Amino acid sequence: MLGIGFDINAVDPLMINMMDIINIENPMYSNYFHTDYKQDITAFLEKAYTQEIITDGCYIDLNPAAEEQEVRELVKQKVKQSIAFTRGIGSKQVVFLSTYLPMIGLESYDEKFVAQSVAFWKEILSEEEDITISLCNTFEYTPELLLRIREGVGDERFTLAIDLGHALAYGKIALDKFYKQMEPYADVVYIHSNDKERDEHLNVWQGKLLEDSGFKRIAHRLGYKKLIIKTLDKKHLVKNILVLRQNIKSLGCC
């Protein structure tokens, strides 16, 4: 399955027949819930899309592993707003970035991050029904802590999502090893490219994604996931799709 990430007000009608999934990014935008977003939901529903809808959850400044009680309450509020928005547009799956900061490099930080994250997501799931929450890698060097959090939450509604662009830029292990460790627990895969140093969200043929040996070793597996194009450039989406179909045989030929 193939999808594209869009602003809810900028879903390209010319791309509709080329994708199976519409990924709505707005809850990730800072201060989006301070806009008249309910009008966006109404306008979106009027279009009656038949594709599967997957939503991105709140992100910037919002860490579910925060220790300060007031901060955790604010994060919870924004997470629940993201989930309500997700339901509002007819989606049953929302992807949250982990916000983990590996450069801190302290075991105590890692242990608290896992424990606090597990407690937070368990609490959210105890209050929500009929929703799948997927936790996605951000700056992680390896997927180790994400795997521990998933195991600790221990709920079939709590899964992982893989961002190949983030793993390409920040991962300290080969891209195929990063992917394969998360693969059994993830159905959503975000794809974009970069220079292996910055999270640039380039078109897939730019940067170093397609030339990466690890990517080449997993390309044949990606078509069996919900593969979502997350490029900043929305003017070359058709080319992105064609290039992916040429490089990922399980998506089918162009």
Q: How far apart are the C-alpha atoms of 204 and 4, rounded to whole Å?
A: 13
* CATH of residue 246: 3.20.20.150
Supply the pLDDT for residue 60. Answer: 77
Question: Following CA atoms 20, 59, 97, 101 in sequence, which dihedral angle do they give, to the nearest 10 degrees?
Answer: 160
Supply the pLDDT for residue 155. Answer: 96
| Whole-number percent of the chain with pLDDT over 70 | 99
Please state the domain count of the chain: 1
Supply the pLDDT for residue 248. Answer: 87
Backbone angles phi, psi at 72, to 5 degrees: -60, -35
Q: Which residue has the tokens 């939901």?
A: 41
> Where on the phi/psi map is residue 196: left (φ > 0), alpha (ψ -120 to 50), or beta?
left
- Supply the range of the domain harboring residue 26: 2-251
Supply the pLDDT for residue 254. Answer: 41
Kindly state the tokens that stand for 238. 């058709």
Rounded to two decimals, the pTM is 0.95
Supply the pLDDT for residue 252. Answer: 59
Q: Which residue has the tokens 């109404």?
A: 42
Q: Which residues contact 243 (CB under 8 A, 6 or more apart)?
A: 203, 204, 205, 210
* Mean per-residue pLDDT over the chain, rounded: 94
- Ranges of residues in the chain whose predicted pLDDT is under 70: 252-254
